[in-house]
Every structure is written in C-alpha cells, then in structure tokens.
Amino acid sequence: MLKVNDLVVRYGMIEAIKGISFEVADSQIVTLIGANGAGKTTTMHTISGLLKPYSGSIFLDDKEISKVPPHKIVEMGIAQCPERRRVFASQSVEDNLFLGAYTRKDKTEINKDLENVYALFPRLLERKNQMAGTLSGGEQQMLAMGRALMAKPKIMLLDEPSMGLSPLLVKEIFDIIKDINSQGVTILLVEQNAKMALSIADKAYVIETGKIVMSGTGQELLNSDDIRKAYLGG
Amino acid sequence: MTFLTYLISGLALGSVYAIIALGYTMVYGIAKMLNFAHGDIIMAGGYVAFFAFTKFGLPPVLSIILSIIFCTILGVVIERLAYKPLRQASSLSVLITAIGVSYFLQNSAQIMFGSDTKIFPALLTEGSLKLFNGQLTISYLTIITIVTCIIIMIGLTMFINKTKIGKAMRACAEDKGAAQLMGINVDTTISITFAIGSGLAAIAAVLLCSTYPSLSPTLGSMPGIKAFTAAVFGGIGSIPGALLGGLLLGVIENLTKAYISTQLSDAIVFAVLIIVLLIKPTGLLGKKENVKV
Ligand SMILES: Nc1ncnc2c1ncn2[C@@H]1O[C@H](COP(=O)(O)OP(=O)(O)OP(=O)(O)O)[C@@H](O)[C@H]1O
Ligand SMILES: [Mg+2]
C-alpha cells in the first residue's frame, strides 16, 4: 500500500504540487490523469525520491519514504518507468534490462525475470544485442517497462507509457500493463490518454494544477460528464 | 632513424598525457565537471612515491602502490569535501572551487616540502634497448610507459563495458536521473570515478617524474593543462578520445621541439588544438551532446 498525504512539492518558489493525497492499494491499478503541467511527473519523481517534498508524507506500507534516497526506494520495491522512456541509448537492450535489476543479487531469479520480460515483450528478445538508442519509440517503451520490471517491484510507476505511440501499439501496451498487474504488481499509472487509463483502472484521481479535483473508480470517472468534457473530448 | 626516435619518445610522452587525460575525461563524463585540481594530484603522487622510496626506503613497487593508494584516497576526499556539496550549484562555482583546490594542494605542498626542486630517483629502470646496430635507442622507461598506457586503456575499456559497476558508470554518464531510478547510487559512482582517475594520476606521476626527474609543488600544472587539452582534443568524455588526443599531443609536441622550435612547441600544440576545435567543436572522437527533449 502506497499512501501520499498532503504532499506539497516546490521548484524554488513555484509550488507544482499543492497538497495532494491519494492511495494505491495492493495489486490494484490506480491512475492519475491530468493535462500538461498538472504535476503528474512531479508526483512520480517525488515518490521515487528524485525530488524531496516541501511538506507532507509518503508511506510505503508503514514506512515513511519521502526522505529515502532514490536508489533505496528501488530496493524497497518501487520501480519507475519514466516519462519519455529514458533508456540508456548507448547500451544494449539486454544491458538496459540488467541495469533494471541493479539492486538485486539473486542471479537465478534475475535470469528467470529476464525470461519473463522477454516473454512479455518478444520484440526485445529479438533485439537483445541492439543498442537501445536505435530502437523505435514503441520498442523503447517496451524496454523501459521491461527494465522497471527487472527490479522485481511491488509497485510499478508508469509515466505516460502511451506517449507518441500508434493506437494499435497503445492497446498492446495497455494489455501488457494488465498482464503485469495480474502477475501481482501494483500499478500507479499516469496518463494523458484518459480513456485508456480509466478503462483499466480500479481507482482514478484527476489532478489539475497541483491539486486533486476528483476521484472515483475508473468506471465512475469514465461515465462522469465533467471528465467526458474535459478529458475525453466531449 | 632520429625521426623514429623522436616519434617513439613522443608516443611515450603522449602515453603519460593519455593516462592523465583519462582522469579529466571520466570525471567530466560522469560528474560533468572539469576537475582542475587533477594535475595537482599528480604532484601529490610524485611526492608520495619520492618520500616512500628515498626517506622510508620502500622498494619501488611498494612506493608506487603507496602513491596510488594515497592519490585514490585524496581524490575521493577532495570530491566529498569540495565538490559534492556543489552538486546543485552552477558549473562556474564548481570550476572556481576546483581552481581553489588546485592552489590549496600546491600551497600545501610548498609549506610541507618547500618550493625547491627535488631530484626524483630512478624508480623504474635505467638503461635502454639498442636496435639496428645501435642506430635506434629506446630506453626501457619509454617502453614501460607505452606498455603501461596500453594495459590501462585495455583494462579500463573492459571495466567500463563489461562489469556491472562500469555499466552503471556509463548509465550515470548518460542520464543520472534514470540511473537513480535503476537503484544506482550516483554519489558512490562519482566517488569510484574520482578514485580511478586519481589512482591513474599516481601512475602518471611516477612515469612523468621518471622521465623528467624533478619534483616541485607546481609540477602537475603543465602536464595537467596539456592532458586536459588532450582530453578536449580527442573529445572530452570519450576514453578512446583521451588516448588518441594524448598520443597526438605528445607526438606533435616532441616533433615540434625536434624540428621547429623548443620555445614555440607549447604555442604550436595549443594552436593545433584551437584549429581542431574550430573544425570539430566536440573534439576528434567526441559525440554531439544529446539535446535533451
Ligand atoms: N525542474 C523544474 N523546474 C521548475 N518548474 C518545473 C520543473 N519541472 C516541472 N516544473 C513545473 O511544474 C509543473 C508540473 O510539471 P509536471 O512535469 O509534473 O507536469 P505533468 O503533469 O507531468 O505534465 P505533462 O503531462 O506535460 O508531462 C509545471 O508547471 C512545470 O512547468
Ligand atoms: Mg509529465
């Protein structure tokens, strides 16, 4: 269980997150939707420890993690697949995947998870020796997700996995997110593609300029008139 | 044959530049800073080897190892105390701090050891190899220097490309934030980078002081600047670039000294650098900075 309480995050004097609270229950898919600049990535980075909150707290189960350094957060079971993928362009696909397992020492388990990632993304197996920088955008997205999975996370943070992908590929990626979730990984999904995100989410929060303005089950928000007008194009 | 002699000794000088340039280039690649005090770590390494050998009577190998250990620790301590607190600061503040550290090391050496020049002992070998009926003479020191450089280059390239820590270093060089999301401790990685660069500086110190056997608190400045030039010349951030830049610089410097002018050699070396950078601003093997989207 991940719990964010009254979180405030600032960049210098600018308050990007203005006191948000939400929960991600175990084995659920929870989504955070919102427009450009709403503060979704800031929230993800703060959970991962790359940014420190100005105030508020973040609990993983019963541990406060808002002051824990990022590499320790990965060890505690939160892995992030960041916005724009950020694969290591000059390293091979397989080396990228092994970097995802950087904090782990269980060699045989790591190899088993590598098999699992290749089973989820057969295209990565075909390209395992290719430099990550030469992959297509869709393949890089698969690599970034596979790399996060290699950390064997309890919770996976996904920041706009559909960005820049064709509708067909978006559907494929969302099916895989459901697969990953059904393997027992809790998912916190940030999306601008509200329709897709809401359709797979157990719980959803709408964030607008640093504040949560609405929440409900995925289905509830899909049916809400306000959401339809603001995020689903009428 | 004399040309060959100058060429080979130029390669040896270039090998030393290359080993020093590695320190600049690795630190730049990973910490994105110019460690101007790197040359002065060479100086420290020279003094440690000197005292270990002459004052404490340690055997050459132990003196060199002691020097490597000392410089490794010195490099890590400098990074922790002087540079780490500036991780979020502007690059200009970091550069000024590095220049400050450089002066601090030079002045400390002056206070501790005096500013007079000491004669560095023949730690490594004397004598030379005679080829072609004595027409070509290559000193053993020259051979040792070139071979050491080759071994370091191969070792470091394997380390960077094949080991888990090496791959983590490359990940940090490319994208620190993403590296942290993998669970890589960036501070530790930067410390390791400084440790390696400074350890190599100690090796460079012994080779350099054996070739030009005089020891003074400012001995690291000029080779430091030349090696920095070599790193930029080859493409800063690139390990093969440091090798290529170092070797070219050493050869150009030596041939200029032999055939054009001893006094003008430094000016010519820097002129070549400026021309290369005008034609190819990222250096010979430098990659275009990836524009962050
Ligand atoms: N490094 C930074 N320095 C200053 N302001 C920042 C920084 N990063 C983000 N911001 C600001 O914080 C606010 C939230 O940005 P954030 O990246 O979290 O939005 P987002 O919801 O992820 O948007 P998008 O959907 O476009 O990715 C924006 O107003 C942005 O300009
Ligand atoms: Mg974002």
- Say whether pLDDT at B292 is over 60: no
> Does residue B207 sit within a domain?
yes
pLDDT of residue B288: 58
ipTM: 0.96
A–B CB contacts, 8 A cutoff, strictly below:
65
> Does residue B106 sit within a domain?
yes
A51 lines ligand 1 (CB under 6 A): no
> Does residue B137 sit within a domain?
yes
> Does residue B242 sit within a domain?
no
> Does residue B249 sit within a domain?
no
The alpha carbon of residue B45 is apart from the nearest alpha carbon of chain A, in Å, by 34
Domains and CATH numbers, chain A: 1-77+186-234 (3.40.50.300)
The stretch A147-156 carries a mean pLDDT of 98
The stretch B212-239 carries a mean pLDDT of 93
> Does residue B99 sit within a domain?
yes
A14 lines ligand 1 (CB under 6 A): yes
The alpha carbon of residue B33 is apart from the nearest alpha carbon of chain A, in Å, by 21
| Beta carbons of B182 and A102 less than 8 Å apart | yes
pLDDT of residue B114: 94
What are the residue ranges of helices labelled H in A3-106? 40-48, 70-75, 93-100
**Ligand 2 ion: Cβ-proximal residues, 5 Å cutoff:** A 40-41, 83
A149 to chain B: nearest residue by CA? B182
List strand residue ranges (DSSP E) for chain A, in order.
Answer: 2-11, 14-24, 29-33, 55-60, 63-64, 78-81, 155-159, 186-191, 203-208, 211-216
Partners of B30 on chain A (C-beta within 8 Å) are: none
Show which residues on chain A lie within 8 Å of chain B, measured between beta carbons: 45, 48-50, 69-71, 74-75, 79-80, 82, 84, 86-91, 95, 98-100, 102-103, 147-148, 151
> Does residue B116 sit within a domain?
yes
If we measure between CA atoms, which residue out of B167, B165, B205, B164 comes closest to residue B75?
B205
- The 3 state secondary structure assigned to chain B is CHHHHHHHHHHHHHHHHHHHHHHHHHHHHHHCCCCCCHHHHHHHHHHHHHHHHHCCCCCHHHHHHHHHHHHHHHHHHHHHHHHHHHCCCCHHHHHHHHHHHHHHHHHHHHHHHCCCCEECCCCCCCCEEEECCCCEEEEHHHHHHHHHHHHHHHHHHHHHHHCHHHHHHHHHHHCHHHHHHCCCCHHHHHHHHHHHHHHHHHHHHHHHHHHCCEECCCCCHHHHHHHHHHHHHHCCCCHHHHHHHHHHHHHHHHHHHHHCCCCCHHHHHHHHHHHHHHHCCCCCCCCCCCCCC
> Does residue B152 sit within a domain?
yes
If we measure between CA atoms, which residue out of A77, A55, A75 comes closest to residue A67?
A55
* Residue span of the structural domain in which B69 resides: 2-229
pLDDT of residue B2: 86
- Say whether pLDDT at A65 is over 70: yes
Tens digit of each residue's pLDDT (9 = 90 or more) over A89-128: 999 999 999 999 999 999 999 999 999 999 999 999 999 9
Dihedral angle computed from the Cα positions of residues A47, A49, A52 and A53, in that order, rounded to the nearest 10 degrees? 10
The stretch A15-25 carries a mean pLDDT of 98
- Say whether pLDDT at A73 is over 80: yes
Closest partner residue to B177 (CB to CB) among A50, A69, A151 is A50
Q: B106 vs B137, which has greater pLDDT?
A: B106
Domains: count for chain B: 1
pLDDT of residue B276: 85
Q: Which of A7, A8, A10, A11 to mutate to test the pocket of ligand 1 (most atoms within 8 A of CB)?
A: A11
Closest residue to atom 1 of ligand 1, CA basis: A11
- Residue B109 pLDDT grade (very low, low, confident, very high; cuts 50, 70, 90): very high
The stretch A40-48 carries a mean pLDDT of 98
- Concatenated DSSP letters of A89-123: TTSBHHHHHHHHTTT---HHHHHHHHHHHHHH-HH
- Residue B46 pLDDT grade (very low, low, confident, very high; cuts 50, 70, 90): very high
Strand partners of residue A186: A155
- Say whether pLDDT at B273 is over 90: no
The stretch A27-32 carries a mean pLDDT of 98
The stretch A191-201 carries a mean pLDDT of 95
pLDDT of residue B286: 82
